[in-house]
Amino acid sequence: MTHEQAMRSAAKEYMHAQMKKSLSIKNLYKNIQKDLNKVEEGLKLFSHSSNKLISEINTYLFQKVGKRIRPSLLMLCSKLLGYQGNEHILMSTLVEAIHTASLIHDDIIDNSKVRRGKESVHEKWGPNITVLLGDYLYIKSISLSLHSQHRQIIHILTDTSAKMIEGELNEYYMSGNLDLAEEDYLDIINKKTASLFSASCQIGGVLGQASKREEKFMIEFGKNLGMSFQIIDDLLDFTGDEKTLGKPILSDISEGRITLPIIYTLHNDGRANRKRVTEFLKEKNLEKNSKEEILEIVKSNGALDYTYKKAEGFSLRSKETIAQFPKSIHRDTLILFSDYILTRRK
């Protein structure tokens, strides 16, 4: 490496470190931290039950370890429109609870034994109890929306839940299917993930008395952010650090789930690598050297770069949408959110 190259590389590293510092989630939350603390209290109320099992599992679930992205988006979107009331606390609590309910069901479907660095609920309590606990949490969350003066919120939540289930169903149905096209993948992640991001932003908009046009922007912003989030999630399944992520990597391919780096590989790599990837998709419990081989394939054929670029495109669209609103601290935070989604490590 020449001196000039070394200087350039050091400067790049410094810039990246600076960017990561300014994009820490704590920074994004500084204007809503008090309200987020109230959401934590709200989530803890799910543990107050005379049923010992409900109380025990919900206490385990709501120890503060999640990123709380959906409640934060809801709050920021409401505040962007100048919302001054209190309903955003309850609505934020309920979107996080729906998300939690969906994750514990998802971990059964995906056979995931670890979540957020701890045993998944079904690993600890078994799938039967976990399905019922997820149902309980879900229905209790939806019932909180009855407290809102906006009936529209119930509609948003029920439509979104149906979409999430449809997305998850399609993903499971298509697992192992090598014909899965990028378009099918994008449709799946839109339904299973982006729909709740979008709903959270839309609910924020409804609380803030958004005009029809503003509400459309909120929906669009949340959708693009959610797409970017899930593509990065699928990328981190290849590139992430297990300890930071709190879940094992290469779990998608181990379960036959075809995500964007694999779709790219199956469409663009040579015959030998396509054949290897097809074999890996059929194999359960991949050996260490198989994992290394997969990583080498997706790194060298450009699949990881391609996937990151896709996420970047959605993130950019989310920023363009939110930039339609007048400048404010909350708008700036939402723009930073779009950058954070791309740089996150967990």
Summarize as ranges the residues that interact with Mg ion (CB under 5 A): 106, 110
DSSP count for the chain of H helices, then E strands: 19, 2
Q: Nearer to ligand FPP by C-beta: 81 or 188? A: 188
- Distance in Å, CB of 326 to ligand FPP, minimum: 32
Q: Nearer to Mg ion by C-beta: 106 or 269? A: 106
- Residue 138 binds which entry of Mg ion, ligand FPP, none, with Cβ cut-offs from 5 to 8 Å by kind? ligand FPP
Residues 6+ away with beta carbon under 8 Å from 106: 112, 168
Other beta carbons within 10 Å of 3: 7
- Residue 193 binds which entry of ligand FPP, Mg ion, none, with Cβ cut-offs from 5 to 8 Å by kind? ligand FPP
- Distance in Å, CB of 3 to ligand FPP, minimum: 43
Q: Nearer to ligand FPP by C-beta: 190 or 273? A: 190
Residues 6+ away with beta carbon under 8 Å from 92: 35, 36, 39, 42, 70, 71, 72, 74, 75, 200
- Distance in Å, CB of 98 to ligand FPP, minimum: 5
Q: Nearer to ligand FPP by C-beta: 148 or 161? A: 161
> By the criterion CB under 6 A, which residues form the site for ligand FPP?
98, 101-102, 105-106, 110, 112, 134, 138, 161, 164-165, 168, 192-193, 233
Q: Nearer to Mg ion by C-beta: 49 or 239? A: 239
- Residue 236 binds which entry of Mg ion, ligand FPP, none, with Cβ cut-offs from 5 to 8 Å by kind? none
Residue with tokens 């690598």: 273
- Residue 192 binds which entry of ligand FPP, Mg ion, none, with Cβ cut-offs from 5 to 8 Å by kind? ligand FPP
- Distance in Å, CB of 192 to ligand FPP, minimum: 4
Q: 118: which strand partners?
A: 115
Structure tokens at 8: 């350039």
